[in-house]
Every structure is written in structure tokens, then in C-alpha cells.
Amino acid sequence: MKKLIAVLGSSRPDSVSMKAAMEFIRGAKEAGYETVIFKANEMDIKGCVGCGSCRKNGTDCVIQDDMQKYYKELHDCDALLLTAPNYYSQVAGPMITFMNRHYCMSNPDKTTRLEKNIKLAAIYSQGAPESFPKYPAVYDWYNGTFTSKGMTLCYNQIIGGDSDIEKVCQNAYNAGKSL
């Protein structure tokens, strides 16, 4: 069975990124994916300390926290869904800390340590309108960390304060179903 990992960056009860993510996951399940969900705010994720041990030894990060369970799933998955709210014009802090901990997924020559071709899906939510020009570059930068590890971006959804959430959820469901 194919596997989708979802790392959700908002745990607000009314989170729109969470709503869209759940629709994406529903579609992916119908397409035959099993799903493992991580909620970034509920995980113990320490910051990268820049020790360089991973690149020197060709291993996952040595810090023993909840990223270890995630790394195990990452090496074994076919698709990765990331969601994040925009806080102060950036991807929210816990998801940045999470992203920093992917340094270990590159070899010293910058080739990827990931053996599988992983499909990447991303959902970003912001209070600003969907077309606000300043933010796509922020999300592209964030996605870039993951595509630099050999992942292929197959879905990138920006949810703005003016977005039609029903339509967004329908798009997310369709994207999950065609994963």
C-alpha cells in the first residue's frame, strides 16, 4: 500500500489549512493511500544545532526527539503533505524548525539521501487575500527545501482570507484523489 505522511502546521480548532488537509487526505485514502498524521504543535521538535554529524556520517539527525518517528516514516513514504499558517509574513515557527531538521536528508554533495521518489503537496493559509503578491515566494522557498531532497511538488494551495473554503476543500480532495 502507498503511504502519505501529513505534517500539519496549525492546530487551531477552526484551522482552514487543517480543513483542506483533511479533504486532501480523504481523497488520498480513496486513491489507496494509508496515511500517517503528525501535528507539529504537538510534537517535541528541537532546533537543528548545526553539529554536522548527519552530513559527516550519512545518517538521520542524531537529536532524539519526535523527528525520529517522522524520519522513519519519511524514508518509507510515497507522498508528503505539509501545511502551515502564515505568521508574520513567514511560514509559522514550528514548521520552520521542522523544515530545518531536513539538513540530514542531503549528502555532502547535496544529492538526496531519500531513496524513494516522494510526491510533495503543500497547503498554506494566510489572512491576506489569496493573490497577495508578497507570499508565493515565501512558500516557494519553503517548498524548495523539500524539492532539493528530490521530492516532486504536485500540489501547492494558498488559502487566503478571501478564499472560498468550500472550493479550496474540493480542490484539495481532488488533488488527494489524483495523487
Ligand X SMILES: Cc1cc2nc3c(=O)[nH]c(=O)nc-3n(C[C@H](O)[C@H](O)[C@H](O)COP(=O)(O)O)c2cc1C
Quick one: which of 58, 127, 136, 144 contacts ligand X (CB under 6 A)? 127
Told to check if 157 binds ligand X by CB under 6 A, we report no
Integer Cα distance of 62 and 154 in angstroms: 30
Contact string (CB under 6 A) for ligand X, positions 82-101, x = contact = ---xxxxx------------
Give me the least distance between CB of 48 and ligand X, in Å please. 23
Q: Which of helix, strand or coil describes residue 3?
A: strand
- The two most distant CA atoms of the chain are separated, in Å, by 48
- 10 touches ligand X by CB under 6 A: yes
Our CB check for ligand X shows the closer of 128 and 154 to be 128
Counted residue by residue, the chain has a size of: 179
Q: Does residue 16 interact with ligand X by CB under 6 A?
A: yes
Task: Specify which residues 121 forms β-bridges with.
Answer: 81, 155
Smaller CB separation from ligand X, 17 or 106: 17
Instruction: Give residue 29's Cα distance to chain centre.
Output: 18
Identify residue 71 by its one-letter amino acid code. Answer: Y
Cell of 34: 494509508
In the complex, the residues that contact ligand X under the rule CB under 6 A are 10, 12, 15-18, 85-89, 125-128
